[in-house]
Amino acid sequence: MNKLFAMFLLTFCAGLAQAENVVSVKALRDGVPLDAEAAVPEPHHWQADRNTIPRQYVQQPPLIPHAIEAYSINLKFNKCLTCHSWTNYKATGAVKISMTHFSDREGHDLANVAARRYVCTQCHIPQMDAPPLVENDFRPVRALTPHEAE
């Protein structure tokens, strides 16, 4: 029993010594606390001009030009499809979902949206006028992106 206690005490002391050497992690918010009263950026409603924010890289999923807070996406229902499905897009004036959403990972064409593309918000996010959380100097490859009219 004494040996067991001695091993526990030794392990505990080693853990304390190691805890002193822990490096603190710098969060993206840089120590600024979350403020429930802070203003949340408004989504841009650029429905009339869907190309206001250009895509930054080839194959980037388009941004959502409207609010989606109340949208439900679950196993039985996907709110996005009420407007963007191939059945409804003309009546609603929405963009129809791409053919790429109808193939599985093996490349087989499906009659319905593939499970891997069913949760729209995995790839598509609302457009926001918000500053970036992390500074970066990313630039798209000019040879692969459309050029501005000169």
Among 114, 113, 100, 103, smallest CA distance to 59 is for 100
Give me the phi and psi of 2, to 5 degrees please.
-65, -35
Domains of the chain and CATH, by start:
58-128 (1.10.1130.10)
Confidence label for 90 from pLDDT (cuts 50, 70 and 90): very high
- Region of poorest pLDDT, from 11-25, 55-69, 86-100: 11-25
> 0.85 cut: is pTM over it?
no
Contact 91, 79 (CB under 8 A): no
| Tokens read off for 102 | 């109808």
Residue 113 vs residue 137, higher pLDDT:
113
Phi, psi of 75 (to 5 degrees): -60, -30
pLDDT digits (tens, 9 = 90+) for 17-30: 665 555 666 677 66
* pLDDT tens digits, 59-84: 888 888 888 988 999 999 999 999 99
